[in-house]
Structure 1
Amino acid sequence: MTEEKFIHDSKTVLKFIQCYCDNEHFKIKKSKDCINLNYNDKDLNEKIEYELCEKCEETLNYSYVKLQECPHDEKPSCRKCPRPCYDKREWKLLAKIMRYSGLRFGILKIRKKLFGRFEKSA
């Protein structure tokens, strides 16, 4: 996997986990932190900041480690991977998070398009 793809995938998984945490764990205390991205023992000079509850932060860290360890040159989606590296429990949790957040992002995209059309015609 290229460094650019690694950065993109790291930011994407954070975006999905952040959306899930913000909507599902809004009453739980969250802490601000960041990850300094490293890939193949190389500092990428890239930081990703987040504000997550403890459980979601554990999920993010787990996902980040698995992403770093991915053996594929051309990384498939984890759902289509011939050799999944996630533990079954973690995989199910991340699948739930991705479904939840993907639906939210899809709805936001549709709303923007609809309201954009109404604003243009007004």
Structure 2
Amino acid sequence: MVADRFLAVATAILFSFAVQAPAQTSLVPGNVKELARADLSGAPDMEVITSRIEWKPGESVSRHIHPGIETGVVLQGAMIQPPGKEPVMFPTGAPLMNLRGVAHGGFAVVGDTSLILLTVHIVDKGKPVYQPPN
């Protein structure tokens, strides 16, 4: 199925980069616009945060983790490049999911198109959403 292929591509992109991003990257990715935040019903120590994130060409993000789960979808696909690797397309419509404490990121946006994501974080309340890997 097409959805299974997108999930496989997104998972490979997000989880397979073992090298660190260049020193000039920021831990908090791109232009983050928080759209909504609410307590998670039935879990008083958790909250749900919906955001739109945009990385412009030339911008990059360090590898990071979250104190909970991140899920989302690519609203606008773009070419991304992990350090020392060939560029790959992160396609529009690709789903993403990053589990608690699993490091991901570590890429730069290359080419002339911004990468735009819609993300939903279900995370521990009061903790930074973006944290350096352990």
The TM-score bracket by the shorter chain reads under 0.3
- Per residue, is there more helix in 1 or in 2? 1
TM-score calculated relative to the size of structure 2: 0.26
Structure of higher CA gyration radius = 1
Q: Which has the higher strand share?
A: 2
Could you tell me the TM-score, scaled by structure 1's length?
A: 0.28
Asked which structure has the greater RCO (Cα within 8 Å, sep 6+), the reply is: 2
